[in-house]
Amino acid sequence: MKFESISQLTCPAARIRDNSQLCGRHAWRLACWENPVLAEVDVPLRSGGAGASSAMTPGERRASFSLASIFALRMLGLFLILPVFAIEAARYPGGDDAARVGFAMGIYGLTQALLQFPFGLVSDRLGRKRVIVFGLLVFAIGSFVAAWAPTVTWLAIGRGVQGAGAISAAVTALLADQTRDIVRTKSMALVGASIGLMFALSLVVAPLLVAFTGLGGLFALTGSLALAGVAVVIWWVPPEPLQHKNLPRGRLTEVLRLPALLRLNFGVFVLHAVQLAMWMAVPALLVQAGLSREHHWWVYLPAVLGSFFVMGATLFPLERRGYLRAVFLAAIGLTTAVQLGLWLVATAEPTVGVLGGLLFIFFCGFNVLEASQPSLASRVAPAHARGAAMGVYNTLQSLGFFVGGVTGGWLVKHFGAQGLFSACFAAMLLWLLVAWPMRAPQAVGSTLAPKAG
């Protein structure tokens, strides 16, 4: 018998998929899903290569760019608020209480943390796209409440409702569902790059926009961006696969038993706690170095954009060669070294050049970690529990934001910038020790075994 594709050798249902008298429309898919690897090899045999191509398919590109745009639209709305919230909220009734303003800012991370796992678990049961649309609508409602808010208390309520639209786990799980292991880090990097670009863009345009619209106008813009995200989900994101609906459901106890996932969850908590805590002191250091607040983007923007080029030149080629573990640990080491450097700068007279160099190195490490961590988490997690696993992962990420903001402000108030960066250095060093035993999983379709470094 002559076979024209691998699937005809490995999946009997594939041989009859075109015969409507023998097989229902989706029976071949259900048969192939008994083995997730065989489900992805239904392609003609090609000479000259045994491994799967590391290039994205058109479907993977569409999924990656559309889901990255959802993150971008949502994160742009959030980041536009960050540089101006503390100053603008002080003009509201009750805004003279710094603790209330801080609570209004931080409650977003708390409600995110509480609902990330439930949203991820529900996405395993009801479907990713339904959960994403619902979450974006909740986020938009919270944004419009904050836009209307007459007091700081109502700002806090709006921010809390915003956080209740916890879609990160479902979006990340859907991206993992629609991409192969061998290209997943590249897909996650698009998400990380979109977040980084929105962060850089917000630092530039937020002070300009708030001068014309006020804080309420920024929140209204945030809600409009969330509604645009709903349109992206409905009309651009590819139809979601049914695989996670036809397998056993994920459970919290299952994803908490895996040491590799626990290390990644600890890491994402530390990374985002340190990231937010840093920004309690970095702007003041730039001002101390002689750079006015409206010009801080002169440092942020080149640092973020330059780090993207470094990530593209290091992470992707080295991962293909089996050195993901080495790159991952090196990125943690770089970010740890930056905290030590910032501590030294805080004890002396800071300069714009030194701070710019340290921030560039920080974003080089941060972007690599931001791209590789969710990819590793999705690959380590069982396919049927991927939504639950990413829910736990994103819960710890949100808790990191909340803890970083609260403890960062407390450390600066009581111990100054030196105390803050000392604590950040200790946290990053602990993460490096926790992450050291990691082993990078081999991508499905890759012929290269992961190397120790």
Question: Residue 180 above 90 pLDDT?
Answer: no
pLDDT at residue 425, as a whole number: 97
* Tens digits of residue pLDDT in 101-142: 767 777 888 888 888 778 877 887 888 889 999 999 999 999
**Which residue, 260, 276, 261, is CA-closest to 366?**
276
Mean pLDDT of 7-33: 37
Within 10 angstroms of residue 55's Cβ, the number of other Cβ atoms is 10
Cross-strand pairs, 5: 44
Q: Which residue has the higher pLDDT, 78 or 108?
A: 108
* Tens digits of residue pLDDT in 390-413: 778 878 888 888 888 778 778 887
In the three-class reduction of DSSP (H, G, I as helix; E, B as strand; rest coil), residue 44 is classed as: strand
What is the rounded CA–CA span in Å between residue 407 and residue 419? 11
Mean pLDDT of 329-337: 93
Q: Token digits for 367?
A: 């972007």
pLDDT at residue 19, as a whole number: 39
Mean pLDDT of 144-151: 94
Question: Residue 36 above 70 pLDDT?
Answer: no
pLDDT at residue 415, as a whole number: 86
Question: Can you give the pTM of this predicted structure?
Answer: 0.69
Angle formed by the axes of helices 352-380 and 259-278, nearest 10°: 160
Question: Residue 41 above 50 pLDDT?
Answer: no
Give me the chain's average pLDDT, please. 76
Q: Which residue has the higher pLDDT, 362 or 206?
A: 362
Mean pLDDT of 210-219: 87
pLDDT at residue 322, as a whole number: 66
pLDDT at residue 271, as a whole number: 93
Domain limits, the chain: 6-40, 58-435
Q: Picking from 24-33, 181-190, 364-373, 422-431, which range would have the lowest pLDDT averaged per residue?
A: 24-33
Mean pLDDT of 81-107: 76
Question: Residue 51 above 90 pLDDT?
Answer: no
Indicate the Cα dihedral angle 30, 34, 37, 43, nearest 10°: -30
Q: Token digits for 75?
A: 């994160």
Cross-strand pairs, 375: none
pLDDT tier for residue 252 given thresholds of 50, 70 and 90: low
Within 10 angstroms of residue 331's Cβ, the number of other Cβ atoms is 25
* Tens digits of residue pLDDT in 428-444: 999 999 999 887 665 54
Mean pLDDT of 304-327: 76
- The highest-level CATH class for domain 58-435 is mainly alpha
What is the rounded CA–CA span in Å between residue 353 and residue 334? 18
